[in-house]
Every structure is written in structure tokens, then in C-alpha cells.
Amino acid sequence: MKQIVTNTKTANLWSHEAAIRKKLKAMTKMQGENIKGYGQVYEEYRKL
């Protein structure tokens, strides 16, 4: 996802931003499930 966003033209960034927000929302619901690597993945999506 990071490479895609980096190489995307400005006009198409809105769709990527929406996809990232959806992922963050879904991950927030899974927060208490003790998933290995969850914190790192969540933080990387947040940075994007």
C-alpha cells in the first residue's frame, strides 16, 4: 500500500485515503483481540 500511495498521482490519492480510513476503522474494532503485530500494522496505516 505504501508503494502504491507513493507512486500515485495527486488526483487519485482521495480513493487511497478512503481505503486507508476504512482499514483503520476495521482495525480499531479488532484492537482488543491480542493479534500479533497489530500495533505495528496499525501504526504504519496511521502514518500513511
Please give the grid coordinates belonging to residue 1.
Answer: 500500500
Q: How many CB atoms lie within 10 A of CB 12?
A: 11
The pLDDT confidence band at residue 8, using thresholds 50, 70 and 90, is: confident
> What are 10-26's pLDDT values in tens digits?
777 788 888 889 999 99
Contacts of 13 (CB under 8 A, 6+ apart): 5
Q: Average pLDDT in the 23-32 region?
A: 90
